Amino acid sequence: YPVDNHPFPVGHLSSHIRLKERLATGKFGCVYIGEDAETDQRVAVKVFPPQERGSWLVEQELYSLPEMSHPNILCFIGADQCGQGPDLRLWLVTEYHPLGSAHDYLAGHTVSWIQLLDLAESLSRGLAFLHESSSEKPAIAHRDIKSRNVLIRSDLSCCIADLGLAKKFFQGESIGDVHPQVGTRRYMSPEVLEGAMSFYKDSFLRVDVYSLGLVLWEMLTRCTDAYGAEGVPAYRLPCRPVAQSSRSWRQAPCRQYLRQYWQSRGTAKLAEYSLITSGLSYLRETICCCWDHVPEARLTAACVAERCKALRRLPVS
Ligand code: ADE
């Protein structure tokens, strides 16, 4: 470090930006609001301790890949380091979004049907963009999609954050050494939990789509148009809190719980989804196709985004 082609010399960002309140504590460090001393512009600063140098390097490398800018991926400003020895701190500076993460936003707000479609389509577009490859950009599996890693912009579109666990796949290159069981247990697909994942690019992308389905479910369960007079339930994470042991997780996979949830709400069983007449039933069916137990049966993120777009033409219910 400094990495070739890095836009700022070492110390440039950290000497201009003052850290303010803490926004979040993550696996690899804390995120703060940072303020540029000259312009008062606010940014978000993820601060890694020296032992997390590997994650800091991975994340900035991914953000710095050519063609990585997209409206639904968190905008990277730069990386920096300050302090020395055990006091060394590694900074990753990105755009700041005052509405915070999808997790925080949904816990505090309900959303209309149109707002839900804006959230769902933009999130799926961001993931589809990560997954897609071009001559310049490798396909990227995020590997930790969850509502805390999705940020809400002021126009209620989403951007995907936290690329610290992401894995890139260059065409024709072997997958290499990769630990399959990373991410957040609550959002892990059955094949990851069971250690039964195959080591192909598409397998990694399908694991992301499973987690995408769970985040879409979190969004849908806060939609006023989905609940009518009964009222929208309080925000919940997508699984029962059964995480005491890995055994209990295997016995109570999210999918089973969620499917019971649809049924208990008097909605159609999966097999009865053939007649799609309303936006809500099409969105539920789409979500179920994301968390299918069989990875090959899941939709792609690009297909989920196209479905969300098509949903705008259907009546809500
Ligand atoms: N929490 C984590 N990263 C953030 C960001 N960039 N903006 C707002 N809240 C955040």
Q: Please work out whether the CB of residue 24 comes within 6 Å of at least one atom of ligand 1.
A: yes
Contacting residues for 174 by C-beta, under 8 A, at least 6 apart: none
> What confidence tier does 271 reach under pLDDT thresholds 50, 70, 90?
very low
User: How far does Cα 159 stand from its chain's mean position?
Assistant: 8
Q: Please work out whether the CB of residue 44 comes within 6 Å of at least one atom of ligand 1.
A: yes
Choose the weakest-confidence range: 134-148, 212-226, 240-254: 240-254
What average pLDDT does the segment 264-275 reach? Answer: 44
| Percent of the chain whose predicted confidence (pLDDT) is above 70 | 84
Ligand 1 center to residue 151 CA distance, Å? 6
pLDDT of residue 125: 98
Atom of ligand 1 nearest to the CA of 100: 9
In the residue annotation, 144 being an active-site residue is answered as yes
pLDDT of residue 176: 73
Q: Is the dihedral of CA 69, 75, 80, 85 positive or negative?
A: negative
Counts for the chain of helices (H) and strands (E), in that order: 10, 9
pLDDT of residue 267: 45
Count Cα atoms within 13 angstroms, Cβ side, for 303. 14
Provide the token pair at 305.
């985004």
What's the rounded Cα separation, in Å, for the pair 269 and 205? 26
- 281 by Cβ neighbours in 10 Å (0-12 / 13-18 / 19+) ranks as middle
Arithmetic mean of pLDDT over the chain: 85
Instruction: Please choose from 76, 97, 99 the residue to mutate so as to test ligand 1's pocket, defined by most ligand atoms within 8 A of CB.
Output: 97
Examine the pLDDT at 168 and tell me if it is beyond 50. yes
Contacting residues for 180 by C-beta, under 8 A, at least 6 apart: 192, 195, 197, 199
Instruction: List 101's β-bridge partners, or say none.
Output: 151
Q: Please work out whether the CB of residue 94 comes within 6 Å of at least one atom of ligand 1.
A: yes
Nearest protein CA to atom 8 of ligand 1, as residue: 97
Contacting residues for 207 by C-beta, under 8 A, at least 6 apart: 141, 143, 183, 188, 189, 191, 192, 197, 295
> What confidence tier does 276 reach under pLDDT thresholds 50, 70, 90?
low
Ligand 1 center to residue 37 CA distance, Å? 19
Give the model confidence (pLDDT) of 228-247 as tens digits.
767 898 998 986 434 444 44
Q: Please work out whether the CB of residue 205 comes within 6 Å of at least one atom of ligand 1.
A: no
Ligand 1 center to residue 34 CA distance, Å? 11
- What's the order of all strands across the beta sheet hosting 42-48? 17-25, 30-36, 42-48, 89-95, 76-82
Q: Please work out whether the CB of residue 159 comes within 6 Å of at least one atom of ligand 1.
A: no
Provide the token pair at 34.
């940072």
Whole-complex ipTM: 0.94
Which is catalytic among the residues 144, 208, 225, 292? 144
Q: Please work out whether the CB of residue 102 comes within 6 Å of at least one atom of ligand 1.
A: no
Ligand 1 center to residue 307 CA distance, Å? 28
Higher pLDDT, 263 or 270: 263
pLDDT of residue 130: 98
Could you give the C-alpha distances from 28 to 20, 90, 204, 271, in angstroms and in order?
A: 19, 11, 22, 42
